[in-house]
Chain A
């Protein structure tokens, strides 16, 4: 399958810069066994997840993809910088790959790090069509490790992607089994008082929004490298070794909070780009993001890699151990997260001025749900002002103040924030953006319709960018869901307030009730997809085509400009 060795040998003979990394991939119907259930899905080379594709920076990748399905398929190389017609989005990059056809992708590898690939057709990706990409850098990396593993997460559900989409359209709470019950009403009433609990329920009922609306899809089995919690994927190590874990979240819709009890994790890379090392106890990985961490287990014992979903409805589990068959305890999942009024902060029609957080029932709801394992006694009567300063209170500038989604580490330690991510080696010179484009993330949970600036993809004009400009995207999340926004083909420089050290990513999570900025150096001509990476949000319309006009070859895309003027969504 892998012709790398042969290509390497050729490389010795040829003085050319590129040795070819060539792969053959077949797209197949496969059986997926989660340990909880077995289902038919879609995989690559007979398995889901597909293979780990290894490349070296500077070589030319050649990948022959043969479609053995009875429907169209495609492969998108998530996070790779490449010519747009190799990006693998049907209808934008190319027409797609017909049943029985072989399509050859060929593009130069111009970056290094951890990435992944997946189908961009229908719901093939939630059905299992994904794999991982590891690119070895040309130069030395600023960190050392003795061993590495890809840790590819997913949220495997017994229903097919089509069925899940249909069920969500029919009943948006179809999969939500964490809704507030009569029992919770009484426990809240005894904790916060009857009147404030009634007021709280009325306030949410008036909006017709659910505090429990954290995850669209529950009832999945969390998988790591194709294995469910019971099957327990195991990576071996020698005590004292540094292990690089390449976390990839290939879920359809699930965010995971990842920890390895007993081990610190040093985050060294995110979305394929090195970051200044930051040591954490736990981190949240958004859908489609990657994080590379280095751990150094000193003892000859087993360690559990525990990844519980953001809404605590399911978990993935794997083990690092000196020997096969060893295992450590698997922690209990924490209490389900509950949204607060803060997460509704920018809901249309809400009056910010009237949101007195300190005495409102929402706040008491928040103490209750998000401060598990913390000292409750010190919290009574807390107000917003003291929240910001107190060490004990979870706060993260990338979540709404008082959000019920702010993560805390299970051991009370450090939880990674976007604010901790600083580029190790900025890819671009820092400069003023040439313009700003506001993208409001919009939707209606009751109708399960999702859009950008209130317009679904089916009705939207493309976003037109000019080659050479630096665009500042302003995401305003007006919904109560978290949206991992993914721009194809060009980097997303996430504004964490670190100026030239802002981290360079391919997927940026925008939490409910927040505004997040990212900047993009428009350096890739052609047309590209730009969308929420929650599969069912993208399919419901939270998706755009981006056209980059102009380019190194100034003749291109000119014909296109004539068609229509327009700059925003």
Chain B
């Protein structure tokens, strides 16, 4: 019985195919979007916050990331700023434009340029870095910079998110900068330059698109860099209370 049915199937198909036999010779090639690499984009403010220091200093701070591209190649624009509200001046302002390619399951290599345009002298850097997810869920981002003055430095960023619940998230961040040569004009001494450590408690209010948070941030300068800062009449260590939001869209 079954064989009869399949025979019927085949003969019906056969009959139906006669008019399409010619068409079958020219089977189309897939030129649809599906056959193209999937392109995607995203924009995130990892930090968008107001900081209030133990010296009554007020800062507006952001750290933003825009990407566009495919699995094989992304372009990335990273923007970071620290705006001193009272002085109405950018203590820090940097923009990186990078190309990014995967080098392993969990890591990407990136290369590009970084423009620092804060109050004071500007710098342009060549950037080479790796970013990805290390074992035990540490997000890491390591970069090597060479400035237009010929000075080299490195920066390591790490972040860990602890899920108190699926909506309350405690994130710990650590950022350290090391200079291999001094750049006195921008207050950078050789050796360990500075660290920034943060702890932020966020709540995912709208999907993962809008997550307000509060937290504390500790900034410290070291060695020659600290000496330069003191000589310039600045501090070497700050504690901040922060309030802000993580934004993704």
Contacts and interface: CB of A to CB of B under 8 A. Distances in A.
Interface of A: 81-85, 90-92, 94-96, 107-108, 110-111, 122, 165-167, 169-171, 174, 177-183, 202, 205-206, 208, 219, 425-429, 444, 446-447, 449, 456-458, 523-527, 539-541, 543, 545, 547, 551-553, 555-560
Interface in B1-59: 1-3, 5-6, 8-10, 12-18, 20-21, 23-38, 40-42, 44
Interface of B: 1-3, 5-6, 8-10, 12-18, 20-21, 23-38, 40-42, 44, 71, 102, 105-106, 133, 135-137, 162-167, 207-208, 248
Contacts of B3: 428-429
A209 to B, nearest CB: 10
Contacts of B25: 555-560
Nearest to A106: B16
A427 B42 contact: no
Given A108-B16, A110-B13, A181 B28 contact: no
A341 to B, nearest CB: 16
A504 to B, nearest CB: 10
Contacts of A457: 34-35
A21 B163 CA distance: 56
Given A91-B34, A540-B38, A177 B2 contact: no
9 contacts: A85-B23, A85-B24, A91-B29, A108-B15, A166-B41, A169-B38, A181-B163, A205-B136, A551-B17
A182 B32 CA distance: 45
A337 to B, nearest CB: 15
A124 to B, nearest CB: 13
Nearest to A526: B24
B118 to A, nearest CB: 29
Given A181-B163, A206-B136, A556 B28 contact: no
A321 B18 CA distance: 50
A560 B23 CA distance: 12
Contacts, number: 154
Contacts of A81: 9, 13
B10 A523 contact: yes
B24 A551 contact: yes
B27 A446 contact: no
A89 to B, nearest CB: 9
A464 to B, nearest CB: 12
A542 to B, nearest CB: 11
A446 B134 CA distance: 11
Contact of A524 (B13, B18, B21): B13
Given A182-B163, A205-B136, A206-B135, A110 B12 contact: yes
A516 to B, nearest CB: 23
A92 B28 contact: yes
B27 A560 contact: yes
A525 B10 CA distance: 11
Contacts of A179: 163, 166
B73 to A, nearest CB: 13
A553 B12 contact: no
A556 B32 contact: no
Contacts of B5: 425, 427
Given A91-B31, A110-B8, A553 B105 contact: no
Given A446-B133, A553-B17, A91 B28 contact: yes
A556 B2 contact: no
Given A166-B41, A174-B208, A551-B24, A458 B2 contact: no
Contacts of A446: 105-106, 133
Contacts of A539: 34, 38
Contacts of A182: 162-165
A178 B166 CA distance: 7
B161 to A, nearest CB: 10
Contacts of B33: 122
Contact of B17 (A83, A94, A208, A558): A83
B21 A553 contact: yes
A171 B135 CA distance: 17
Given A429-B3, A446-B106, A446-B133, A458 B36 contact: yes
Nearest to B9: A110
A171 B46 CA distance: 13
Contact of A523 (B13, B29, B34, B135): B13
Contacts of B15: 108
Contacts of B44: 170
Contacts of A171: 208, 248
B6 A458 contact: no
Contact of A208 (B31, B35, B133, B167): B133
Nearest to B1: A425
A429 to B, nearest CB: 6
Contacts of A427: 2, 5-6, 9
A83 B18 contact: no
A181 B166 contact: yes
Nearest to B105: A444
A167 B23 CA distance: 40
A458 to B, nearest CB: 5
